[in-house]
A and B are shown apart, each in its own frame.
Chain A
Amino acid sequence: MDADAAAADPLPHAAFAGPGPIDAGAEAAVSELYRNNVLGLVRLAHIMLGSPELAEDVVQDAFYGLFRRWGQLNDPARALGYVRSSVLNGCRSALRRRARPELPGPPPEPVASAEATALTEHERREVISALRQLPPRQREALVLRYYLGLSPAEIALVMRIGQASVRSATHRGLAALGKILGEDA
């Protein structure tokens, strides 16, 4: 791969290294990964997008992309990290395609859930609305940290930025969220 191709590599942190035939077991492996992780990833995309249907599309696309490149994956243990990155990329693209002046607010129909009992529905919508006002990098860092519970190193891999940038984005995002909500972070 020449320098330009290397610089243009869309998977700077993924474990793809050169060509190779698609493994005969790729479908089974990707399917198993999908079964084990689809719910969490769709929920992640839904938080970012505010649309269950769009979230499912983004996750489907991410797994399809993984399947296409399974032959180039030299460390299957990193497949989940790759697909998380793809889901975030898909969410960014979907938000850009919407071409709306403001990011979507929370869904209009309140949905009762066991988890929601700790916050009133009004409070929850305020927090999600505030989250969606943040710059994308801060928003993603906060969601990966506080929803998926990823460590800074894991977030850095998913977002393809350095750990220091992860810490900064998390810190700044939390501070900005507190400011929008009228609270100290």
Chain B
Amino acid sequence: MSTVEDKLRHALEATASEIPATQGRVLSLVPRAGRGRVGGSLRHTATSPRWRRGRWMAPVAAAAAVAVVIGLSAAIATRARSHRGAASSLLTHLGPGTTVPLRSAPAVDGGAVPAYYVVIHGPSTQVLATATGKVLATLRPTGGFAAVSGAADDRTFVLAAARKSRIALYLLRLNPRAGTARLNALPIAVATGASLEFAGLALSPDGTKLAVGVNNLSRTGNFGARIWVYDLATGSHREWRGDGALSDTAIAPGLGRLSWAADDKTLAFDFETGVLEAFLAVRLLDTRAPGTDLSSGRVALRSEEIRATSQPQLESPLITADGTTVVLGQCQVTGAGQGPGCPGMAGSQGRFVPETLSIDEYSARTGHRIAVVFRRRYNVPQAQSGDPGPPPSVLWVNPSGRVLIVSTGAALASQSPELGIVRDGTFTPLRAQGTALTGTAAW
């Protein structure tokens, strides 16, 4: 019994086996006293006001779904045509799609910061205003979406839906002048198979390429990762692979966040090996260079290099547009004798554990920290006192890396993270609520 993982597995199995296989009540499908709905009938519940509101929404949504927008307003399509030639552009062959009304958003920071962002809220997907946090458009696709990524034009987004054995992709175009947001299914099939799981996606700044990452998390002792980069003009794609064997201490290896540099060819991705001593590495992949090996990507940053000085827990690395800088959130327990940790990390000394949440910039060339963008300190009650809040995360960064949209994170789940703009080290909160948005929101 060597590792903590083994001990934990066996302890859990042994504790679970205290419930014998023969034990078990007969399922009761009537309200149980103390459930809070005593006496309530099933039919009454199904027609509660909330669902009645949904009933009239259904035909409205259906009507919206058949609305046709004449012509393509796609700057992305224009870019795609210039990239590959109009005749070969898949985007010009998109069907009518679904169109919903879109209200316009006020400019932010004189236009230096995107005015629109898209958030996935379970079955509904919303377009919101960065400045106010107000909902400008709502889409309710069947099955919902899993991830979203945006181009640099503040108008073009790609959404992904994880279906059985495939990833369905959709293009969302905002047209504030026409007051519409239009959703089209992209004619690209991403087959993931039974053992591959969707990890994330990133739309290139010019909107012509889409990177899709999947992880192979088979429990056979091996792990693997795939990145596919699709050309949205032609539908063609390239594949990069990374495979390996799990070590004894490995946990949940896999690809993390994907992001593009402004050159539209350099793709940054973080790969968590799962080995505690080398938990995360950020690599830069030249997608125009030959090769199919993910490990051919140059390592820009390794977590253990940073730990030598600050022992952080790294979150959501994002490459800046010029490809020189990696921006990421960190959580660091700053009390003496404490190890790495994020909000809510257990402390064993004293009543509170001091923690620092920060967003830092690292050189993609040397791996050295070059700037602290944002920093906030908390005194966190010990483990039993609360659920940890979301970690800090970088949600958008401008080409120079000096203006960012960040979620501050929170020490505890009972505290609300703030969404804000960081410019030259100064944090200006936005009215919108900040949450753990990484992957489910895009600017």
Q: Contacts A3-B138, A42-B19, A172-B342 known; A119 to B14 CB distance under 8 Å?
A: yes
Q: How many residues of A contact B (CB 8 A)?
A: 101
A47 touches B340 (CB 8 A): no
A64 touches B32 (CB 8 A): yes
B10 touches A118 (CB 8 A): yes
Choose among A17, A60, A135, A178 the residue that contacts B142 (Cβ–Cβ < 8 A).
Answer: A17
> Would you call B205 an interface residue if the criterion is a C-beta within 8 Å of the partner chain's C-beta atoms?
no
Q: Which residue of B lies closest to A127 (CB)?
A: B11
Contacts of B199 in A (CB 8 A): 163
> Would you call B45 an interface residue if the criterion is a C-beta within 8 Å of the partner chain's C-beta atoms?
yes
> Would you call A136 an interface residue if the criterion is a C-beta within 8 Å of the partner chain's C-beta atoms?
yes
> Would you call A166 an interface residue if the criterion is a C-beta within 8 Å of the partner chain's C-beta atoms?
yes
Contacts of A5 in B (CB 8 A): 50, 53
B117 CB to closest chain A CB (Å) equals 14
In angstroms, Cα B399 to Cα A68, docked, is 50
Per-position 1/0 for B131-150, Cβ under 8 A of A: 00001001010111000000
B4 touches A178 (CB 8 A): yes
Q: How many residues of B contact A (CB 8 A)?
A: 91
Per-position 1/0 for B423-435, Cβ under 8 A of A: 0000000000000
Per-position 1/0 for A107-132, Cβ under 8 A of B: 10001011110110001100110010
Contacts of B52 in A (CB 8 A): 19
In angstroms, Cα B343 to Cα A163, docked, is 17
Chain A, interface SS category: helix
Q: Which residue of A lies closest to B199 (CB)?
A: A163
A106 touches B15 (CB 8 A): yes
Choose among B11, B16, B256 the residue that contacts A119 (Cβ–Cβ < 8 A).
Answer: B11
> Would you call A76 an interface residue if the criterion is a C-beta within 8 Å of the partner chain's C-beta atoms?
no
Choose among B8, B17, B31, B391 the residue that contacts A177 (Cβ–Cβ < 8 A).
Answer: B8
Name B240-289 residues within 8 Å CB distance of A.
Answer: 249, 251-252, 254, 256-257, 272, 276, 279
Chain A contacts to B: CB under 8 angstroms: 1-3, 5-7, 9, 11-22, 27, 30-31, 34-35, 38-39, 42-44, 46-47, 52, 55-57, 60-61, 63-64, 67-68, 71-72, 74-75, 77, 101-103, 106-107, 111, 113-116, 118-119, 123-124, 127-128, 131, 133-138, 142-143, 145-147, 149, 151-153, 161-172, 174-181, 183-185
Known: A19-B46, A118-B1. 20 other contacts (CB 8 A): A6-B121, A13-B144, A18-B57, A30-B27, A38-B24, A52-B18, A116-B13, A118-B14, A119-B1, A123-B1, A124-B11, A134-B346, A152-B215, A152-B217, A153-B197, A164-B257, A165-B436, A168-B391, A172-B341, A185-B276
The 5 sampled A-B contact pairs (Cβ below 8 Å) are A21-B46, A127-B8, A133-B383, A168-B313, A171-B313
Return the 8 tightest CB-CB contacts between A and B, nearest first: A12-B122, A43-B16, A127-B11, A116-B14, A3-B135, A147-B12, A115-B13, A113-B17
